[in-house]
Amino acid sequence: GENVEQHPSTLSVQEGDSAVIKCTYSDSASNYFPWYKQELGKRPQLIIDIRSNVGEKKDQRIAVTLNKTAKHFSLHITETQPEDSAVYFCAAALSGNTPLVFGKGTRLSVIA
């Protein structure tokens, strides 16, 4: 089955700097790669997703890149703000309505 590896497990950046989180996956059949932000005790919040027919997607300060050949995808957050501090999870799935396999998460701390 699918296996998703996520790095780093913790990341501290100064406010205004960029943050990059990387994930790799094992199943070449996966076509849907969402990123979630989760605050303590809350449901995961989708921040951006990408499908396999696209190499890059951007939404304001957030961008995701996908390399299907190498089976890895990355989250880029620019101009980080203290409210970006949270746990971020990557995931992989066959499609948007199939089971998600999550990475282990990255705890991002943005220091003001």
Partner 1 sequence: GAVVSQHPSWVICKSGTSVKIECRSLDFQATTMFWYRQFPKQSLMLMATSNEGSKATYEQGVEKDKFLINHASLTLSTLTVTSAHPEDSSFYICSASPDSVSTEAFFGQGTRLTVV
Q: Report the interface residues with partner 1, using CB under 8 A.
A: 34, 41-44, 46, 49, 89, 93, 95-97, 99-105
Structure token digits, residue 110: 């943005």
Task: Please say which residue, 13 or 101, places its beta carbon nearer to partner 1.
Answer: 101
Q: Is 88 exposed, middle or buried (0-12, 13-18, 19+ CB in 10 A)?
A: buried
Nearer to partner 1, 10 or 18 (CB): 10
Distance CA 67, CA 3 (A): 16
Q: Which two tokens stand for residue 71?
A: 């089976």
Task: Check if the beta carbon of residue 29 is closer than 8 Å to that of residue 22.
Answer: no
Least distance CB 79 / partner 1 (angstroms): 25
Q: How many CA atoms lie within 13 A of 12 on its CB side?
A: 2
Q: Compute the least distance from the CB of residue 60 to partner 1, in Å.
A: 18
Residue number, 24 or 69, with CB nearest to partner 1: 24
- Closer CB to partner 1, 55 or 96, in the complex: 96
Residue 106 CB, nearest approach to partner 1 (Å): 11
